[in-house]
Amino acid sequence: MEQLPRLGKVLILSASAGAGHVRAADALVQAFHSEGAAREIYHLDTLQYTTKALRNVYSKAYIEMANKAPELLGWIYDVTDKVRKPEKRMQALERLNVGLFMRLLKRHQPDLVVNTHFLPADIITHLRHREKLTCKQAVVVTDFDVHSLWFNPSVEYYFTACEEARVYMSAMGINAGNIHTTGIPIDSSFGITVDKKTARRTLGLDADIPVVIISAGGFGVGNMEQILQSLMQTRNPVTVLAMCGRNAELKERVESLQLTQQSAQSKSRIVPVGFTTAMHDYMSAADIMIGKPGGLTASESLAKGLAMVIINPIPGQEERNSDYLLEQGAAVKCNNLPTLAYKLDSLLDSPERLVAMQLSALRTATPHAARDIVRILRRSAQ
Please report, for the chain, the start and end positions of each structural domain, with discontinuous segments joined by +. 7-186+367-380, 192-364
* Half-sphere exposure at residue 139, Cβ-oriented, CA atoms within 13 angstroms: 29
pLDDT over 70 percentage in the chain: 88
In terms of CATH architecture, what is 192-364? 3-Layer(aba) Sandwich (3.40)
> What are the CA-CA distances from residue 103 to residues 40, 195, 331 (Å)?
19, 49, 45
Residue 59: its pLDDT value, please? 65
Output the pLDDT for position 368: 97
- Residue 264 binned pLDDT confidence (cut-offs 50, 70, 90): low
pLDDT per residue over 273-317, tens digit each? 988 889 999 999 999 999 989 999 999 999 999 999 999 888 888
Assign residue 110 a region: left if phi > 0, alpha if psi is -120 to 50, beta otherwise?
Answer: beta
**Mean pLDDT computed over 314-335:** 93
Q: What is the dihedral of CA 40, 46, 48, 51, to 10 degrees?
A: 140
pLDDT at position 262 is 64
CB-CB contact of 270 with 292 (8 Å): no
Task: Report, as an integer, the average pLDDT of 150-163.
Answer: 94
φ, ψ of residue 238 to 5 degrees: the values are -155, 140
259-274 mean pLDDT: 78
What is the pLDDT averaged over residues 265-277? Answer: 85
CA distance 257 to 334: 22
pTM of the model: 0.90
Q: What is the pLDDT of residue 91?
A: 56
pLDDT of residue 218: 45
Asked whether residue 37 carries a pLDDT value surpassing 60, the answer given is: yes
Region 240-262: mean pLDDT is 82
Burial class (CB in 10 A: 0-12, 13-18, 19+), 262: exposed
- Fold agreement between 7-186+367-380 and 192-364: yes
CATH of domain 7-186+367-380: 3.40.50.2000
Confidence band for 100, pLDDT divided at 50, 70 and 90: confident
Query: What is d(CA 116, CA 373) in angstroms, rounded to the nearest whole number?
Result: 12
Residues 32/10, Cβ–Cβ less than 8 Å: yes
Residue 108, pLDDT score? 81
Q: What is the average per-residue pLDDT within 368-372?
A: 97
In this predicted structure, the answer to whether residue 56 has a pLDDT above a threshold of 80 is no
Mean pLDDT of the chain: 87
User: Could you report the per-residue pLDDT of 204-228, keeping only the tens digit for each?
Assistant: 999 999 999 998 654 444 578 888 8
- Banded model confidence at residue 93, pLDDT cuts 50, 70, 90: low
In this predicted structure, what is the pLDDT of residue 125? 86
379 or 78, greater pLDDT: 379
Task: Report pLDDT for 323.
Answer: 96
The pLDDT value recorded for residue 312 is 83
Predicted pLDDT of residue 219: 45
pLDDT in tens, 336-362: 889 999 999 999 999 999 999 999 999
